[in-house]
Structure 1
Amino acid sequence: MKTIIHTNYIKNIILLAIMLVGTASFAQDDEEEEGSKFSFSGSVDAYYRANFNGLNKEVPVLDTAGDQIGVIPATAPGSSFANDPGFALGMVNLIAGYEGDKVGFVADLVFGPRGEDAVFGSPFGSPNIVNQLYVYWNVSESTTLTFGNFNTFLGYEVISPTANFNYSTSYMFSYGPFSHAGLKADFDLGNDWSAMLAVLNPTDFTDINPFGELSFGAQLGYSGQYINVLFGKQGFNEVLDGTGALVDTDVKSLFQIDYTGGFDVSDDFFLGINATYQDTDGAGFYGAALYPQLKTSETFTIGLRGEYFATSEFFGDIAGIGSDADGDGSVFTVTLTGNAKVGDLTIIPEIRLDSSSEDVFVNNDLEVNGSLASFVLAAVYGF
């Protein structure tokens, strides 16, 4: 599972927020005078979370002398985001961009716990608030080149809560990848067909490439249905021992294939679909999910996410979904979600049931079992 790096960067937040606000003001002035193509958008979100049958608080662990040696955290699903107990913060997302006839850029900044989780990969231990930062060139009407750091092309769900129907995220999304750094070429092939080719850093290393290895991505799309592929080496191919001698080591090679799509069954009923498989030298994961959504009025939609997710070898323990003696584990999750629109504000009540193949969820009696029932109430404002 993705590692979370917590940093303190209040000064950076204030400075960059001022810069973005200044950019927005400049854009508004230009728009009035010259029809400028600058844009400014983003979102703010917060939530409340509680378990029905899980631990809702942290419990200190003491040694025999009465000194604290650790803590049992509040119980949460083994997926990313919306995992803190009680009232909690999501993130502030500020996006500035420019769209020219041929060239443009996007600067996407994130602040808060969800933002920290999203940009965990690089650089190590340093403040990082950049979710996306890229430039693009429309080489022709059918070809666009993008250079920089951009969110992944794999999967049904994304980092921004404004683009997801469910507020909590799936296991497939949480295992990633989240983002890439590199160069990609998008092609409009006509007749609803599209394609993409990319040369990338190893997965989620969005600011640096410490390994000297490259990954490669590809996508083929037709009428809203996409087949995505990602592959490449993910580690060091030269390692030295304590004497400085070269030690041979196997470099982990990642391969992932993913299907993302959906269908309008009727004017008010949509069915989203996601399936993925990843292998990294024998260890990996696979899963599938359905996203039926029914619009009951102009302001309310109800939806369900049903997901099966399984891991092999070391992945199970890292994910927090549990694993057996061979390192294999699985989880089945059902999430019932409502979206109530109040202008630009979306209220999202959610009931989630996680059932793991192993006993990993801690209850209020500090006992472990294989299931967790939880509730989330989120508020997401997009602008």
Structure 2
Amino acid sequence: MKSRIHFIDTTMRDGSHAMSHSFTKEQVSLIAQGLDDAGADIIEVSHGDGIAGSSINYGFSKTRDIELIEAASKVVKRAKLGALLIPGIGTISDLQEAYDHGVRAVRIATHVTESDVSLQHIKAAKDRGMFTAGFLMMVHMAEPEKILEQARIFEDAGVDYVNLADSAGHLLPDDVRRRVSLLSEKLSIPVGFHAHNNLGLAVANSLAAAEEGASYIDGTLRGLGAGAGNCQIEVLSAVLERMECATGIDLDKILKVAEEAVEPIMPRAQVIDTASLMLGYAGVYSSFLLHARRAAEKFDLNIKDILVELGRRGMVGGQEDMIVDVAYQLSRSQHKAD
């Protein structure tokens, strides 16, 4: 394991999914200040689907990203203020606006086989002196050798590290080890990992990634995030402290901000219910959960059937609009069967 694990907190980005994108400036200010004081290295703030994600397709934000970023920038003194950008959703102009309001770290996210669509955005970020990562989503859908090929595109583009995201919470610890160990061995830049807890393995998978050489690990307070949530940052901090691994996190302070700033505003506890479990089991993008839940209610379907069908079709982030179509087709099929 690396001697120092860098924590990237995504409570106010991935957690935005679980909050139905309803964070307020006051909430962001309180959480960001607590995280900064607790020792998080990067604090990520944006819509769940990245800068400019607020839309009919992904869900509208209660407060504009840039206002939330500005609120965080006023209280973050030590950590880097970060954001996620998905090419095709966020633009270079959006990146510039985020930079103008204090964002100094950006992760450019693509599907695991499409890192080449990020090159212009990476260059724009590096030209502005930003700490920049290539963020590969849905890594369960590619074998380690393919992921290495895509990661090298990021490496050649000049990113500071490559992040692997188990966006569906589908991977088992050995799956994580095979992917992270290969990249750690073959790349000249650091590797990071982002877990979802749909199979209850977010902490175990993050620990496996760290043991195989990942030095950037994502987490959220109380596990707040899409699906069953993310790796719970205060839990992983405690585990790593027990292992005498340096993280820079003050455990007492991270527990305090989780308990006092995040837990009171959560719409519901992050639990592994049947729908969340099926996301991980079927390999479905975690942010599809709320969309699938609404479609199930609209067409009087079992959400499990929708999620299994989405997994069977290999649907990926960006295809949220297709969830209603799938639900409609399933309802037609069931009515014919009846």
- The question of a shared fold, defined as TM-score above 0.5 by the shorter chain, is answered with no
More helix by share: 2
TM-score (structure 1 length as normaliser)? 0.28
TM-score (structure 2 length as normaliser)? 0.31
Task: Look at both structures and tell me which one has the larger radius of gyration over its CA atoms.
Answer: 1
